[in-house]
Structure 1
Amino acid sequence: MSALLERDHAFLVGAVLDDLVQHVPGYDRLPQELIDGDVRAVVDHALRLFPATLAGGPSAEELSRLTESAALRADEGVPMEMVMAAYHRGARVALDHCFAEARPEELDDARIIAVALFDYLEKLTTAVAAGFTAHGRTVLAEQADVRQRLLAALLAGEGFHEAAGPAEMAHADTWLVVRVSVGAHPDEADPMIAPGVAGRRKLRRLRTEIDRHYADPVLWQPSLDGGLLLIPQPDLDRLRNVLRAARRLAGAPLWAAATRAAPEEVAAAAPLCHEIIDVVLATGRPEGVYELADVALDYQLRQASPARSVLAGLLATLDEHPELHRTLEVHQRTGMNRRRSATELQVHPNTIDNRLRRIAQLTGLDPTRPDHLPTIQAALIARAAIRGQQGRR
């Protein structure tokens, strides 16, 4: 067998190349210089290695050349399945050629050679897969590095054009800066499921779905409850549709704060989105995508000033009555609708009336009087802002 392969080696190299072009999809579209160059060299090398298998080889060093070749094909965009198919076609051509001259009494030898060929193909395909895997890891690492450098540059407000690299990242004129906050998935409350695992799975589904909807890479700064996204596509309506789909897959409530920003404005837009989402969550707003205009009054009332602590102090007497404070928050959020408030708090509407009267007695602010409502709303926002600030310390 070895002698036959050596004698007809040149013929077999040509026969394998012809077979690849005719029978393996994609090889007929490869440049002729690639067929005549690297592909021919790899076929030549692989055919020379097979006899070594019959003697217990080939060595890892001999196979490493095939790994390097596979990495080059991956870099050129040749699919791995195409390369795998080529090795199997080449083995078939060589085997058919050799077995054509086999005599009946050589059947046992033929079986030995067939088994050896399968062993050889296992080593070949493992080497090829290693080449593609190594290339994939390298490319992904390079892409991740470019994205992280660009993210850091945008958030720092400088050097973003240089950080984007030559072609991997788009030099977007306008970015959509988005702060996403995801609530708890039901699995996170299941005592039979590790909450950390359930939370990470939820966030991975969210990220995968968002990435899937954008052709240009989305830059992520992850957090335990979601993260900050920079999207080189400033269409807010599209973002709303994408987040609706992502929310379904994540299986958890989702809120987002968004604003458009030029590259040099991203550094200021990111903390703004963090503040907007704080307002949204602190005021109990429903799921959705919010811009500053949607929460402008609440946002302004939360800003640090001498008046903020004074406003917060107007409801200080409710600190010893958490059920009254909770009732006031819910009643304000439901638009002062006593029945909706009662439903959310799971109490009778008359209980709401009694609590509102008690709040008026303790604070001097009557939630049933329209002229007191702006002050009550401002006081609630100020208290939520101070609690949030204390929680971050």
Structure 2
Amino acid sequence: MIEVDVGLTIGAFSLDVAFRNNTGVTALFGQSGSGKSLTLGIIAGLMRPDSGHVRLDGETLVDVEAGVFVPVSRRRIGLVFQDSNLFPHMSVKQNLLYGRWFAPRDASRIDFDAVVETLGIGTLLSRPPARLSGGERQRVAIGRALLSCPRLLLFDEPLAALDMQRKLEIMPLIERVRDEFKVPIVYVSHAVEEVARLAHRVVVIESGRVKFIGDPAAAFGQLTAAPAEDRFDLCSVLEARVADRSPSHGLVALDHPAGVIWVAGPVGAPGAPARVIVKATDVVLSLTRPQEISMRSVLAGNVSRIKLDGPLAVVEVELSESSHLLATITRGALEDLSLKAGSRVHALFKSAALHEQAVSVGDAV
């Protein structure tokens, strides 16, 4: 169990963040400068808060009022940053073994070979960091943090410096770390695809304050929760299950309470839970269910909220009690369709617009 309730003022910026979680990955999500990394630094012990406390598995790491502050070296927290921070004069194996120095002798040790196999770095052990790609360096950084036998892992934008292909290689490895080693993780990111795939719980932070806490589907589908992002970044996360039916022209059906979502397969075994990211600018709204159209994914729902934004409007569609979808349309389309709260609509989006490698299938859902 990680429990955080802290306050800190630095210049004109004020941080006041509180959340708790007892399993899996907790994602701190928000725009740059919102206070995500500052919160992570307080948990790690790199910063001292002005007020509040941090507790991990019942142990108090920080309590300003009680005068408690456990130093970084005694917290047993593994850190992975955007820059891997590997020691350049050490080989990959030496960097990995360095993490062992921070593991208490009486701690349950994570097996070296298991970490190497999980992260796929067996062929890299003799190399210096200078001969590694960015993705390979991050794998080694994750391994070093794991081998310190941490009670908690902190990831601070670990994939921000990587291209999409490298990100898609690393995310399944973080999933394996999450699922196989069972170490709780606090993950800082402003990338929806990372949070939707990895997190059990999302803490949306805006201007130093917690705006919303919930699962990814709730955090990214409702106007009251969604961070104020550029319209091209606004998206929703839909939870569905892989349908028990044969693929159609290479597409796999995902069953959702509001309809069927088609994605390029394969994405998982029949019955497996799945999360799909849909960009608001990729969604088309119709008052009737279109028949002769190329879009395969059609979900039915009711308009629950509308937010006007200059010549555009963001429409929140309630697909089911726990599922919402955002659509960005023009003000003219809003008026032509006479959309208002309660209007029955069909939301359509192209299967080609869904990145099948970013579909999350398994334990995080």
TM-score, length-normalised on structure 2? 0.24
Select the structure with the greater relative contact order (CA < 8 A; seq sep ≥ 6).
2
Kindly name which structure, 1 or 2, has the bigger radius of gyration based on alpha carbons.
1
